[in-house]
Amino acid sequence: MKIMKISIIGSGYVGIVTGIGFAELGHNVIFVDVDENKVNLINSRKPPIYEKGLKELMQKNKRRYHATTDYYEAIMNSEITFICVGTPSKEDGSIDLRYVESASKGVGEALANKDDFHVVVVKSTVLPGTTEGVIKPLIEKESGKKAFEDFGLAMNPEFLREGNAVEDFFNPDRIVIGVKDEKTKSILDELYKQFNCPKLFTDIKTAEMIKYVSNAFLATKISFANEIGNICKKLGIDVYKVFEGVGLDHRINPAFFRAGIGFGGSCFPKDVKALIRKAEELGEDPKILKAVIEVNEKQPLKMIELLKKHIPNLRNKRVGILGLAFKPDTDDIRESRAIPIIKALIKEGAKVIAYDPKAMNNFAKMFPQIDYANSAKDVIAKSDAILIVTEWKEFEELDYKGKIVIDGRRIEKAMKDTKIYEGMCW
Ligand code: UGA
């Protein structure tokens, strides 16, 4: 194996996991971030985000990486740079490229001083055409060099799941690499040699599209499962049994049919919306994608409907929330379904008490007006009704006896012994 020098721009969960993953494989890694706080955390070998297994790998490989705010230092001392900065949504759902643009400028300015061939790899999720239409001209302008000749440029989308990102880094289903020039192709081929999975080389905009289509399809599966689940609920059918039967067809596959209260997170909502905006810009009317978002926005509010079936007036009622993170094993609350649910409860005049093993600090910044409990047990003890919003493992161990439970995530334990139990789609 050839040991490579890699720099990573942006130390969010994609950047930090990718960089530490490469360090574990034996490479030398430099992280670049504008946030000094993150740089200091990384340099003291502490993860800037919570991600299972990351802390241990940061300790284990502590001599193979460091962090800096200085692009110049990072580019001069590496041969490959991964751009891993965030691509958030603007108000209208379209993609906000400001971090990608400033990263491209930073890389370009530093490259102006470098004689050796350097490969820039875009890992940030960007719409088809962005790498060649936005990033390439910025780097070329700042560096005075020509892409695909003086420096390499590629697009390598990430498919890491938060909470599972470390494991996903080492065991991907596939690696997609969008390239144009042969030199870049062979450098990336070498970098990924150790990975034993299909590797698909495409042109750059196809690689960009594969990322969006993967996320859009997974989001579509979830909204489809929820729509079918809502019908099943009215028919008295358990949608999980239905999808068990449906998923056994190898053409369909059983994954991502977990019906409940819909998808959150930093990727699915933003990526589907960005694809919709792009399609509209091109004069297309993406009906399926729009319905995916519409179903997802209505789904969490169905929880309140089910709750009001049993407690019609929620004013001053104590409603307990189990789970605030957008999914288990993360402290991330971006687009968490807990947000619309708690907003609706506050509007109804309910008194909300919430618990999450990891995400309470993040949530309290957004919702300081609700109560936070020390434990899940505490929530159960103090509530007139309980809503299960995230499927943390520890919620399977609780005693729900005699309680009213509205379950958004199918916690088996809650299905037994409760006074009243309502599953979202079962
Ligand atoms: C997702 C993709 O799964 C990754 O492949 C991708 O790399 C990532 O987005 C990204 O673009 O960065 P992530 O958002 O971390 O990963 O989480 P998922 O496990 O996909 O879950 C997303 C949401 O869907 C969660 O709120 C989860 O509760 C919900 N979900 C998932 C369901 O409601 N039902 C399911 O069957 C599966």
CA distance 186 to 3: 15
Mutation probe of ligand 1 site: the residue of 50, 209, 210, 218 with most atoms within 8 A of C-beta: 218
Query: Which atom of ligand 1 approaches the CA of 327 most closely?
Result: 28
Q: Is the CB of 212 under 6 A from ligand 1?
A: no
Distance CA 298, CA 314 (A): 20
Q: Is residue 265 helix, strand or coil?
A: coil
404-407: strand order across its sheet? 371-372, 351-355, 318-322, 385-388, 404-407, 420-423
161 lines ligand 1 (CB under 6 A): yes
CA distance 377 to 373: 9
117 in contact with ligand 1, CB cutoff 6 A: no
Please give the backbone phi and psi of residue 377, each rounded to the nearest 5 degrees, phi first: -55, -45
Q: How far apart are CA 109 and CA 86, in angstroms?
A: 20
Backbone CA torsion sign across 100, 101, 106, 111: positive
- Contact assessment for residue 20 and residue 29, using Cβ atoms and an 8 Å cutoff: yes
Nearest to 124 by CA among 279, 35, 10: 10
Ligand 1 pocket residue status of 239, Cβ below 6 Å: no
Q: Is 74 in the pocket of ligand 1 (CB under 6 A)?
A: no
| Rounded Cα distance, 349 and 347, in Å | 5
Give the pLDDT score at 58.
98
**Ligand 1 center–CA 117 separation, angstroms:** 37
User: Does the beta carbon of 33 sit less than 6 angstroms from any atom of ligand 1?
Assistant: no
| Atom of ligand 1 at shortest range from CA of 157 | 7
In this predicted structure, the answer to whether residue 396 has a pLDDT above a threshold of 80 is: yes
Q: Choose among 92, 85, 71: nearest CA to 278.
A: 92
CA distance 164 to 70: 30
pLDDT greater than 80 at residue 417: no
Q: Which one-letter amino acid corresponds to residue 281?
A: E
Tell whether ligand 1 has an atom less than 6 A from the beta carbon of residue 12.
no
Q: How many helices (H) and strands (E) does the chain have?
A: 17, 14
383 lines ligand 1 (CB under 6 A): no
Spell 306-332 as b/e; 16+ CB within 10 A means b. Answer: bbeeebeebeebbbbbbbbbbbbbbbb
- Residue 24's pLDDT band, with cuts at 50, 70 and 90, is very high
Question: Where does the pLDDT of residue 94 fall: very low under 50, low under 70, confident under 90, or very high at 90 and above?
Answer: confident
* Sequence-ordered list of residues with C-beta below 8 angstroms from that of 213, at least 6 positions apart, any chain: none
CA distance 51 to 191: 24
Return the structure tokens found at 373: 């409990």
Model confidence pLDDT, tens digit, residues 149-192? 999 999 999 999 998 999 999 999 999 999 999 999 999 999 99
Gap from CA of 162 to ligand 1 centroid (Å): 8
Q: Is 257 in the pocket of ligand 1 (CB under 6 A)?
A: yes
Q: Which residues pair with 95 in a beta bridge?
A: 89
- Residue 109: pLDDT over 80: yes
Contacts of 226 (CB under 8 A, 6+ apart): 259, 260, 262, 295, 296, 299, 425
Across the chain, mean pLDDT equals 97
CA torsion sign for 360, 362, 364, 366 is negative
Q: What distance in angstroms lies between residue 376's CA and the mean position of ligand 1's atoms?
A: 24
Q: 148: CA distance to ligand 1 center in Å?
A: 34
**Residue-by-residue DSSP string for 141-175:** HHH---BTTTEEEEE----PPTTSHHHHHHS-S-E
Q: Which residues pair with 371 in a beta bridge?
A: 353
Q: Which two tokens stand for residue 235?
A: 């028919």
Q: Say if ligand 1 is within 6 A of residue 268 CB.
A: yes
Q: Report how far residue 304's alpha carbon sits from residue 406's, in angstroms, rounded to the nearest whole number.
A: 9
Ligand 1 centroid from CA 161, angstroms: 6
pLDDT of residue 371: 98
Q: Domains plus CATH for the chain?
A: 5-202 (3.40.50.720), 237-426 (3.40.50.720)
Closest-CA residue, ligand 1 atom 30, reads 263
Nearest CA to ligand 1 atom 16: 161
Query: Under a CB-based contact definition with an 8 Å cutoff, are residues 118 and 157 in contact?
Result: no
| For ligand 1, atom 20: residue with the closest CA | 161
- For 67, phi then psi, to 5°, come to -120, 155
Residue-wise pLDDT tens digits, 188-243:
999 999 999 999 999 999 999 999 999 999 999 999 999 999 999 999 999 999 99
Structure tokens at 43: 């340099």
Q: Name the pTM for this structure.
A: 0.96
Please choose from 162, 227, 332, 424 the residue to mutate so as to test ligand 1's pocket, defined by most ligand atoms within 8 A of CB: 162
pLDDT tier, 416 (very low <50, low <70, confident <90, very high otherwise): confident
Cα of 4 vs centre of ligand 1, distance in Å, is 31
> In the chain, what percentage of residues exceed pLDDT 70?
100
Runs of H (alpha helix) within 172-267: 182-191, 204-235, 239-247
d(CA 275, CA 157): 15
Give the number of other CB atoms < 10 A from CB of residue 174: 12
For residue 65, what pLDDT band results from cuts at 50, 70 and 90? very high
Task: Give catalytic residue positions.
Answer: 267
Q: Per the structure block, which two tokens stand in for 241? A: 């049994």
